[in-house]
Chains A and B, each alone.
Chain A
Amino acid sequence: MGVTSLSSTGSCKIQLGATCNCSHACVLIQGEITLQFFQMAQQTSAWRRYMQAFISGFFVAVPVTVTLLDKLAYVARVEGASMQPFLNPDVGAQCDVVLLNRWSVKNYHVQRGDIVSVVSPRNPKQKIIKRVIGLEGDFIRTLGYKNQYVRVPDGHFWIEGDHHGHSLDSNSFGPVSVGLLHGRASHIIWPPNRWQHIKPSLLPNRELLYTEEDGE
C-alpha cells in the first residue's frame, strides 16, 4: 500500500505509518519519510564486507589477546614429576593444567611457599614450575647444593621442586634472579576432579634457618 515507484537506484515513496515491502536494502534518509535504496552487485559487496570485517576484527583481536596473555593470565600444562605429589600425582594419568597469574607478579612480589613459573636459567626457551623456598636475605639449608648453607643474595630467590631428587632446581643451579619470574600458579584447572585454589605452603622440612626480614 502506498508504494508508487521502483527503479535500479530510486526511492520508494510510502505513506506515513506504512511499511515498505520491497525486496531492496532501503536506507531512511534522516527527516524524510522517503526510503532510498541502492542496487549493488550482490557478490562483490558480500566478499568485500567479509574481508573488511575480518581484517578489522583481526587487528582488534590479536593485540588484545596477546596483551591479555602477557599481562593477566596464562594457562599452562605441567609436565614432569618434579612437583609430586602436589602436581601430577599420578604418573600414568593426564598432566595437570594450571592457571598462571601474571598480574600478581608484575611488581615481582612473591611469598615463600608460592608455586611459580620461572624462565629456566639453563635453557631460556623453557619455563620451569617450582615452589619458592626462600627470598632475598634468607638463610636456608640446601639439599645437594655445593654449599650446605646459603644466604640468598639480593634480587634472587630460591626455588625447589617438591619431589627432591627428581627436580632440576636451585639445588643444581643456585639462587635464581627475580627478573626471570614469569607467573604464579594460582589454580589447578584440569582435570576437573583436581580443581582447587593453590595456597602458599611450605613442606615441613624446608623451613628457613633465619631471615633478615624486618620484624622476624
Chain B
Amino acid sequence: MTPTHFTISSAFLLGMMGLAFHRTHLLSALLCLEAMMLALFIALSLWSLQLDATGCSTAPMLMLAFSACEASAGLALLVATARTHGTGHMQALNLLQC
C-alpha cells in the first residue's frame, strides 16, 4: 500500500486501540475518538486531492460537522458523569455490571 494509505490507516488504528484499551479516564477515550475522526478527515481530504475527484470535495466538511456534534455530545456525557458520579474515571460507570 502507498505510504499515505499506510499512514492514515495506522493513525486510525492507533486511535482505535487507544479507545479500546483505555485505562482510567473517560476523557482519554474521547481524545482517541477525536484522533480517529482526525485521521478520517485527513483521509477524505487527501482522497479528492490524490485522485483528482472534485466531486467529493465537500465530504471533509460534512465529516467535520458531524464529528464536532459527536465530540460535543461526548463532552456533555463526560460532564454529566462528573456531576453524577463525582469522578471522570471509567470504573465509576459500573451500574450495569453484574
Do A and B belong to a common assembly? no
Task: Give chain A's interface residues, CB within 8 Å of chain B.
Answer: none
